[in-house]
Amino acid sequence: MDKSNFVDQIKIFCRSGHGGAGSKHFMRNKLTAMGGPDGGDGGRGAHIILKGNAQLWTLLHLRYFKNVLAENGGNGAGNHCTGKNGKDIIIEVPLGTIARDEETGKQEAEILEDGQEAILMRGGRGGLGNSNFKTATNQAPEYAQPGEEGQEGIKVLELKVLADVGLVGFPNAGKSTLLSSITAAKPKIADYAFTTLVPQLGMVEYRDARSFCMADLPGIIEGAAEGKGLGHRFLRHIERNAVLLFLIPADSKGHRDEFEVLKAELEKYNPDMLQKDFVIAISKSDMLDDELKEAIAKELPKNIPHVFISSVTGYNLQPLKDLLWNTLNATPVS
């Protein structure tokens, strides 16, 4: 997806509808000169609702949708007529979208399924008409409730990419090359850092017509958790991935050190990241002989599975798919 078409964060001003006022009315017609109270209730103000749409991959369509002003409820009327409810506004968003209040930072909604709806802002309740306040001792109440005011505020919508496997590595580690080799995705590939500026998704075809989703994410640099490089704009996308594939090039100066730096940045951003399943792939392995592979393997953590691959020659790409599939579908240890 082109950089200019991928929008993963946006702010919108929202105001839900005010509730309609209840009616203060008494029955009057040619047969009834002094009838009782018959004022109807006011209608509900319109809600602002988020709805998941699996066909959307970006928040681009909301770029110019900065002010969302919902309809007010109608006022009540005589003869117990209830005011019309305001027409709800439905904002369609891609799966993986969360909504936060800008002022408090509190998460208020999360959309993970197609068709899932969540009320972002509730419309005000309609006021009660005077017919609701009639009692044995007050048979002609001359008052009714005003409608409840709606809510307003600035909401921040953030998209966190939904993928089974997330590629983690320094810039130029070969993540885009790997994604293009095992999926139909066509990310930009070049011999310089930060070629990938937005997440790229691809479906990995596995055995027996099965598949899983892989995301190529912008490269981490040391200090990303503090906002350096692409910082938080990148790290939040990793939160959705079930398995993290650490891609470390064979010509790295220190394979274990590179892994530890990457892992530390994830931990600084969100310690819960360390609860995910990790897999290590040593890329560009076509330049290694067996002796060098053995030496690198001794450097790597013993408790994390690893595989040597080459995206260019296709070396060990099927064993990598097997390892990722088995990791994704492993039965959790209780």
User: Which has the minimum average pLDDT: 101-110, 252-261, 262-271?
Assistant: 262-271
Q: Mean pLDDT of all residues in the chain?
A: 85
The kind and range of the H/E element at 100 are strand 97-101
Task: Match 């109807």 to its residue by tokens.
Answer: 40
**Average pLDDT score over residue span 103-131:** 94
Q: What residue ranges do the domains of the chain occupy?
A: 1-159, 165-328
Strand partners, 14: 68, 153
The C-alpha R_g of the chain, in whole angstroms, comes to 29
1-159 CATH, one of 2.70.210.12, 3.30.70.330, 3.30.70.2860, 3.40.50.720: 2.70.210.12
Q: How far apart are CA 257 and CA 282, in angstroms?
A: 13
Amino acid identity of 172?
N
* CATH superfamily ID and name for 165-328: P-loop containing nucleotide triphosphate hydrolases (3.40.50.300)
Residue 177 has pLDDT above 90, yes or no: no
CB 165 within 8 A of CB 74: no
User: How many of the other CB atoms lie within 10 Å of CB of 125?
Assistant: 20
Residue 194 is predicted with a pLDDT of: 40
pTM: 0.68
pLDDT tens-digit readout, 9-50: 899 999 999 999 999 999 888 777 788 899 999 999 999 999
pLDDT tens-digit readout, 220-231: 655 444 444 344
Q: How far apart are CA 249 and CA 243, in angstroms?
A: 19
Strand partners, 48: 89, 121
Residue 227 is predicted with a pLDDT of: 44
CB 250 within 8 A of CB 283: yes
Residue 186 is predicted with a pLDDT of: 59
Residue 233 has pLDDT above 70, yes or no: no
CB 285 within 8 A of CB 250: yes
**Average pLDDT score over residue span 129-154:** 92
Q: How far apart are CA 65 and CA 50, in angstroms?
A: 14
CB 45 within 8 A of CB 25: no
Angle at 325 between CA 320 and CA 331, to 5 degrees: 135
Q: How far apart are CA 297 and CA 301, in angstroms?
A: 8
Residue 229 is predicted with a pLDDT of: 39
Residue 334 is predicted with a pLDDT of: 44
Q: How far apart are CA 139 and CA 330, in angstroms?
A: 70
Q: How far apart are CA 52 and CA 110, in angstroms?
A: 9
The answer for residues whose C-beta is within 8 angstroms of residue 332's C-beta and 6 or more apart is: none
User: Which has the minimum average pLDDT: 56-60, 220-224, 303-307?
Assistant: 220-224
